[in-house]
């Protein structure tokens, strides 16, 4: 289910054109819950007054549950993360609006990393294998997920897709999320690094208009710097806005077309693996 836009029905999705049956899970408690009589553990910052509906006998038991309701995606994500960490695999989740330049950036990145890192890509779109075909011009293994109607990738799709990869012989897994500046912000895929892209053609104020996607980014790539002049892109304003929306993010300024800034970006990916 999508918390942001409510496109709640995850239909059948496809991996490399093959339909994947939906996995239905029953919720399982993470850790044991305890049945105690009115013992509350409260985090800081909230208070509550306790009222009882009377007119019933008082043999009720208070049961502390403390489970996140969105736990299903989160559980898959944690399982993915654990598996990736055990293998020492660094995993990027790349998010941006459609057309921000994710696929060309990836194409050039994979070419530049050849011989330095063993990389593979999972790419998500609503339909077509076009992006996978563009990326298959490189030597990296590429898996296309077509989500049908779903506006974002979910952790369970990633765990299904990685089964087709030989993770032990990889250093870097790059997930190109569905182009969408809203919903992917809410869905942890189990990545180690989240990367948001902003293209110069989108305007300087995108980070202020769509803050959540930038807020939890570890790195931001400003793309299409070769077009900055033509679209009268104000770099200073954009950098101020990016810093306000994603204060912890490392910033890279790239043009996949001219190659400007690509070596800094690729060095960062190599260091991620080392760190």
Partner 1 sequence: MHEVSIMRSTLDVAEDQARRSGATHIHSLRMRIGLLSGVVADALRFAFEALRQNTLAASALLEIEEVRPACWCMDCQAEFEVNDYIYECPRCRRPSADLRRGREIALVSLEIS
Nearer to partner 1, 117 or 245 (CB): 245
CB 22 within 8 A of CB 12: yes
| Part in contact with partner 1 (CB under 8 A); list of ranges 54-62, 119-127, 141-149, 261-269 | 54-62
DSSP letters for 182-205? SGGGG---S-SEEEEEEEGGG-TT
Please identify which residue in 69, 115, 168, 274 interacts with partner 1, judged by CB under 8 A. Answer: 69
Please identify which residue in 21, 24, 48, 168 interacts with partner 1, judged by CB under 8 A. Answer: 48
Question: Within 10 A of 164 (CB to CB), how many other CB atoms are there?
Answer: 13
Please identify which residue in 20, 216, 251, 261 interacts with partner 1, judged by CB under 8 A. Answer: 216
CB 164 within 8 A of CB 15: yes
Residue with token string 């055990």:
86
Please identify which residue in 70, 230, 231, 260 interacts with partner 1, judged by CB under 8 A. Answer: 70
Residues 228-267 interacting with partner 1 (rule: CB under 8 A): 243-249
43 binds partner 1 (CB under 8 A): yes
Long-range pairs for 138-141: beta carbons < 8 A, 24 or more residues apart: 138/107, 138/110, 138/111, 138/114, 139/110, 139/114, 140/110, 141/165, 141/166
| Part in contact with partner 1 (CB under 8 A); list of ranges 48-56, 88-96, 131-139, 168-176 | 48-56
Q: Return residues touching partner 1 (CB under 8 A).
A: 1-4, 6, 8, 26-29, 33, 35, 40, 43, 45-46, 48, 51-53, 56-57, 59-72, 186, 208, 211-212, 215-216, 243-249
């Amino acid at each position: 289910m999508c918390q942001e836009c409510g496109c709640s029905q995850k239909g059948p999705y496809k991996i490399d054109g093959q339909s994947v049956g939906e996995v239905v899970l029953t919720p399982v408690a993470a850790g044991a819950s305890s049945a105690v009589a009115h013992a509350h553990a409260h985090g800081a910052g909230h208070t509550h007054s306790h009222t009882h509906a009377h007119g019933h006998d008082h043999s009720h038991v208070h049961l502390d549950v403390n489970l996140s309701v969105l736990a299903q995606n989160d559980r898959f994500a944690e399982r993915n993360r654990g598996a990736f960490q055990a293998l020492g695999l660094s995993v990027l989740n790349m998010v941006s609006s459609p057309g921000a330049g994710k696929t060309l950036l990836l194409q050039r990145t994979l070419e530049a990393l050849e011989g330095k890192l063993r990389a593979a890509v999972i790419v998500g779109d609503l339909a077509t294998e076009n992006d996978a075909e563009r990326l298959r011009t490189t030597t990296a293994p590429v898996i296309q997920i077509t989500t049908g109607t779903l506006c974002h990738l979910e952790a369970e799709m990633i765990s299904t897709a990685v089964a087709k990869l030989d993770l032990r012989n990889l250093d870097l897994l790059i997930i190109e999320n569905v182009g969408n500046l809203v919903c992917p912000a809410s869905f942890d895929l189990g990545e180690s690094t989240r990367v948001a892209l902003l293209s110069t053609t989108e305007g300087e104020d995108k980070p202020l208009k769509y803050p959540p996607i930038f807020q939890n980014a570890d790195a931001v790539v400003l793309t299409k710097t070769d077009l900055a002049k033509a679209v009268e892109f104000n770099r200073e304003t954009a950098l101020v806005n990016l810093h306000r929306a994603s204060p912890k993010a490392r910033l890279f300024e790239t043009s996949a077309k001219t190659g400007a800034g690509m070596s800094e970006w690729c060095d960062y990916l190599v260091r991620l693996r080392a760190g």
